[in-house]
Amino acid sequence: MGKILGIIGGGQLGMMITEAAQKIPEYISKVIVLDPAENCPASQVGAEQIIADYKDRNAIIELAKKSDIITYEIESGDSEVLKSVEGYAEINPSPETLKTIQDKFLQKSFLLQNNLPVAEFIKVDTIFDLEEGLKKFGFPALLKSRRDAYDGRGNFKIDSLEQIQKAFNFFNKKNLMLEKFIAFKMEVSVIAARNTKGEIKTFPLVENIHEDNILRETIAPARVSKKVAHRAEEIAKTTVNVLKGAGIFGIEMFVTKNDQIIINEIAPRVHNSGHHTLQSSEISQFDQHLRAILGLDLGNTAIIYPTIMYNILGPKNFEGEYKPIEITEPNLFLKMYGKKISKPLRKLGHFNLVGKSGETIEQLLIKLETIKGKLNVNPV
């Protein structure tokens, strides 16, 4: 008999986890998601939905009572409530790990304690702390909200003394931290998995291109030397090894000019930069996540075809219903998330451009430029 899987969050990540679960009915018979948005992406592909806030105590308890295993697609679930329902369902990654990761200051402190490479940082509670930190790190530096940030929305880059007050006020008394600015030459990430038996596997290092603080493209594999890729993958393995709990972890890193690797942050869940695995690899990050939490042997993570993942984002100047997106191109795999309304920079879908005919990353990048020109999100 298959198990019932509960997911905190039913957006596109929950949707793709649901689809992966439907391929293994012998292990998972049903998926239930907890999400505040009616008709959320996961519910559109057949997940049952509890409509409530991610932090709603009663809803989390209801989900736990109905499920055998619980996992998440977002890190903002209430870790205390999750901890209290561990008796009803197995929770992976563990609420303990979630608690450490969902607070960027605790997360960085944890990484530092485990001798993992991070940018220098301090906790900021007062404007005095901020001034002290800036004296130490110099300009620019990044003021970050410790919790509930995504797509760069919780970051403020401080370039000069004049901006201190504005930056501090921007966050309106939230718990903050200040981080030294890293002049990176590339942003990269590793999708790593650890199963309940302790087996660890990583997908190869990928390269991430951000625009307006939001992920735009992932190039798989990253265009770095074998040595750099190997070092980043080893750092990712060590990171997952010190964290408790099973599942996929998305580990975002910077590569500096002299090829040093610095961890930016960890997501205790499947990650946007792992979407290429849906076509580039034998097994996707979503399949791997399920194998990890079910205690099955982890699958082969090799990239078989070089692939570029491109996010389809809502245009900056438009909010409302949009016409269906159509792109037909050989070896282009489009995945829309079923969101009816476009909002500025909202993630509406993605596509993978796959080098199935032996194309190199350089050739795929040229092809991508012509496709971008034809790709428009238009109002209905």
CB of 8 to Mg ion, least distance (A): 19
Query: What is the rounded end-to-end Cα distance, in angstroms, of the chain?
Result: 45
Q: Does 119 bind ligand ATP (CB under 6 A)?
A: yes
155: CB partners within 8 A, 6+ apart: 142, 143, 144, 145, 149, 213
**Which span (91-99, 115-123, 262-270, 280-288) binds Mg ion, by CB under 5 A?**
262-270
Q: What residues pair up with 368 in beta bridges, in sequence order?
A: none
| Binds ligand ATP (CB under 6 A): choice among 14, 95, 154, 268 | 154
Q: What is the token pair recorded at 302?
A: 């090799």
Q: What residues pair up with 248 in beta bridges, in sequence order?
A: 193
Binding-site size, ligand ATP (CB under 6 A):
20
167: CB partners within 8 A, 6+ apart: 130, 143, 156, 158
* x-marked contacts with ligand ATP along 233-252 as a string, rule CB under 6 A: -------------------x
List the single partner that 275 binds among ligand ATP, Mg ion, none, CB under 5 to 8 Å by kind.
none
d(CA 331, CA 337): 19
CB of 262 to ligand ATP, least distance (A): 8
Q: Does 179 bind ligand ATP (CB under 6 A)?
A: yes
| Binds ligand ATP (CB under 6 A): choice among 136, 185, 210, 323 | 210
Q: What residues pair up with 253 in beta bridges, in sequence order?
A: 188, 263
Binding residues for Mg ion restricted to 312-341, rule: CB under 5 A = none
Binding residues for Mg ion restricted to 37-76, rule: CB under 5 A = none
- Pick the closer one to Mg ion by CB: 107 or 307: 107
Q: Does 182 bind ligand ATP (CB under 6 A)?
A: yes
CB of 212 to ligand ATP, least distance (A): 10
Q: Does 152 bind ligand ATP (CB under 6 A)?
A: yes
List the single partner that 56 binds among ligand ATP, Mg ion, none, CB under 5 to 8 Å by kind.
none
Place of tokens 């795999």: 333
| Binds ligand ATP (CB under 6 A): choice among 86, 96, 129, 265 | 265
Burial of 175 (0-12, 13-18, 19+ CB in 10 A): middle
Binding residues for ligand ATP restricted to 27-86, rule: CB under 6 A = none
On whether the CB atoms of residues 176 and 143 are closer than 8 A, the answer is yes
Q: Does 264 bind ligand ATP (CB under 6 A)?
A: yes
Q: What is the token pair recorded at 110?
A: 């944890």
d(CA 202, CA 301): 7
Of 80, 54, 86, 20, residue with least CA distance to 292: 20
CB of 153 to ligand ATP, least distance (A): 6
In terms of DSSP H, where are the helices of the chain? 12-22, 41-44, 57-66, 79-84, 95-102, 104-113, 127-137, 164-170, 226-242, 277-280, 285-294, 361-374
Q: Does 260 bind ligand ATP (CB under 6 A)?
A: no
Q: Does 181 bind ligand ATP (CB under 6 A)?
A: yes
**Which span (81-89, 122-130, 209-217, 277-285) binds ligand ATP, by CB under 6 A?**
209-217
Binding residues for Mg ion restricted to 161-200, rule: CB under 5 A = none
84: CB partners within 8 A, 6+ apart: none
**Which span (61-69, 95-103, 153-161, 286-294) binds ligand ATP, by CB under 6 A?**
153-161
What residues make contact with Mg ion under the rule CB under 5 A?
Answer: 252, 265
What residues make contact with ligand ATP under the rule CB under 6 A?
Answer: 119, 142, 144, 149-155, 179, 181-182, 187, 210, 213, 215, 252, 264-265
